[in-house]
């Protein structure tokens, strides 16, 4: 890992380009410009384990309030949950985690 965002906060990606895309998507969202979803999708394509990118994508989908997006959001939520459980086990916190 080892990267920090523009605010100095640690992020779950070690892929600089993916983080740059995330920050660009954040700028687009803040200014209501263009299509931040397309940019965050590129970041996740480059690093599928980029947790905050998944969170941003889910938030964008919820803001769009598309019923057609619900199945994909559920799938992404389950995938993210499994990754977080795996990270917890690697960090020695397995006993404290609640499973899906």
Question: How does pLDDT run across 76-85, given as a tens digit for each residue?
Answer: 777 777 776 7
In the chain, the number of structural domains is 1
Residue range of the domain that includes 52 = 16-96
Residue 73 falls inside a structural domain: yes
Q: Within a domain: residue 41? A: yes
- Residue 32 Cα to chain centre, angstroms: 19
Task: Kindly state whether residue 78 falls inside one of the protein's structural domains.
Answer: yes
CA-based torsion, 27, 35, 17, 4: positive or negative: positive
13-63 residue pLDDT tens:
999 999 999 899 888 877 766 788 888 999 999 998 888 898 888 888 777
| Residue 55 domain-assigned (yes or no) | yes
Check: pTM over 0.75? Answer yes or no: no
Inside any domain, residue 42: yes
Q: Is residue 43 part of a domain?
A: yes
């Amino acid at each position: 890992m080892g990267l920090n965002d523009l605010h100095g906060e640690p992020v779950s990606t070690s892929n600089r380009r993916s983080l740059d895309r995330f920050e660009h998507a954040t700028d687009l969202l803040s200014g209501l410009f263009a299509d931040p979803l397309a940019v965050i999708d590129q970041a996740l394509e480059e690093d599928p384990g980029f947790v905050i990118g998944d969170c941003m994508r889910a938030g964008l989908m919820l803001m769009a309030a598309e019923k057609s997006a619900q199945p994909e959001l559920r799938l992404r939520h389950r995938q993210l949950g499994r990754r977080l459980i795996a990270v917890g086990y690697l960090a020695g916190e397995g006993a404290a985690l609640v499973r899906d």
